[in-house]
Structures are given as structure tokens and as C-alpha cells.
Amino acid sequence: MSTLRLGCIEDDFTGATDLANNLVRAGMRVMQTIGVPASRLDAAVDAVVIALKSRTVPADEAVTVSVSALRWLQEQGAEQFYFKYCSTFDSTTHGNIGPVIDALMTALSPRPHADFTVATPAFPDNKRAVFKGYLFVGDVLLNESGMQNHPLTPMRDPNLVRVLQAQCRRKVGLVDYSIVSHGPEAIRRRFDELRSEGIGVAI
């Protein structure tokens, strides 16, 4: 059996299917599960995508099931982990994206570099872009896209640094487009700067 390179935790079924499809298109062998499997992985795959139904449940429930998914992926030997959420950052003032990020980072804390992660909801194929920390849907800000009227996760603030900071225990910072446009080395330097400032999550 091959090494499991990527373990993915997704907060709903539709997004999990989209992610699995994108990974397959990129050449990976992928298995998608509905919920946390009850048995060990018995397939030669490069990635597993676990589809949860945690986007709109109470935050403590989302944390519990997401950490359970992480533990299962760790037991299967996954090398890297990816928490996937909607590209419109569907959430509320209190979660669930921030609390789950905090919990997963804490659960991974013995691993090197688990004190810092990135939050990247941009999805150009679906016309989702982040500029100066603000999320755009097509040509309009998130809070003008119709998402401000969502019945469960109304998104009224397009500034994702503010949105995520309201949910996270860790400090949230920004890697601006002016840095990203200069390439990988500039991004790494910015990561180092943010870490030195005690920031744990970067938009």
C-alpha cells in the first residue's frame, strides 16, 4: 500500500466532492468518505477526503468531529493535513472555521511548524479572490454578494482577518498580495515575520 500523502477534512459533502475531483484532476488517487471511517484504510490512495457535516453545527461539535477525523488520518499515516471550508468562508461570529483551526493546530502541536498555518479561501475557478485581506465573490465584496443574507451563515464582513480573529484564540495576520506577487521566497520571509510577532494563522 502506498503512503497516504494528504489527509483532508471537509466541513460538508459538496465541498468534499469538489476537493476530491480537483485532486483527481491533478493526478492523485483519492478516496472520499462520508464521516469518519470506522475501520482502517484498505486502499492504495494518495489522498483521503473525509466529508463531515460540521459547517453549521455548534462549534464544540464541529471541533470534536474534526479532531476525530484528524486522529483517524494520523492513524493511517497521512503526511500532511488540509482543513477545507467553503470559498465564501461560510461561518458565524463564533465559528466554526476558527475553532476548528485552533483545535486541529493544537492536536498537531508536537509536529514541526504546527504553530503556524495559512487560511486560503481564494478559489479562482469559482471567481473567489482575496485582496488586501478582503474576500471578493466575482467583482463584489463578500458582504455585497448575497452571502450577507444567508440564513445560517450570514457574511457581513468581507475582511477575513477580522472575521477569523473574532473566532480564533491564535493571532491572525495577513500575507498581502504585494508580498505574494513577489513569489515563494518573499512569502516565506513574510511567514517568518508573522511567526516572530506571535501570529499563528495567516490569511
pLDDT in tens, 130-163: 999 999 999 999 999 999 999 999 999 999 999 9
User: In this structure, what are the phi and psi dihedrals at residue 31, rounded to the nearest 5 degrees?
Assistant: -120, 135
Omega cis (within 30) before 149? no
What per-residue confidence (pLDDT) applies to 120? 94
The pLDDT tens digits of the residues spanning 41-75 come to 999 999 999 999 999 999 999 999 999 999 999 99
What per-residue confidence (pLDDT) applies to 101? 98
Average pLDDT over residues 65-94: 96
**pLDDT category of residue 93 using cuts at 50, 70 and 90:** confident
In this structure, the dihedral spanned by the alpha carbons of residues 98, 22, 149 and 60, taken in order and rounded to 10 degrees, is: -30
Spatial CA neighbour of 37 closest among 8, 67, 72: 72
Average pLDDT over residues 166-188: 97
- Res. 86: pLDDT tops 90: yes
**pLDDT category of residue 1 using cuts at 50, 70 and 90:** very low
**pLDDT category of residue 3 using cuts at 50, 70 and 90:** confident
Percent of the chain clearing pLDDT 90 (strictly above): 92
What per-residue confidence (pLDDT) applies to 193? 98
Q: How far, in Å, CA of 37 to CA of 41, rounded?
A: 8
The pLDDT tens digits of the residues spanning 97-112 come to 999 999 999 999 888 7
Task: Please report where in the chains the cell 504546527 appears, as a residue.
Answer: 114
- Res. 2: pLDDT tops 70: no
Q: Give the Å distances, CA to CA, from 170 to 94, 106, 138, 195.
A: 14, 10, 30, 11
Q: Against a cut of 0.75, is the pTM above it?
A: yes
| CA end-to-end distance (rounded Å), the chain | 36
Q: How far, in Å, CA of 144 to CA of 136, rounded?
A: 9
User: In this structure, what are the phi and psi dihedrals at residue 88, rounded to the nearest 5 degrees?
Assistant: -100, 15
Higher pLDDT, 172 or 94: 172
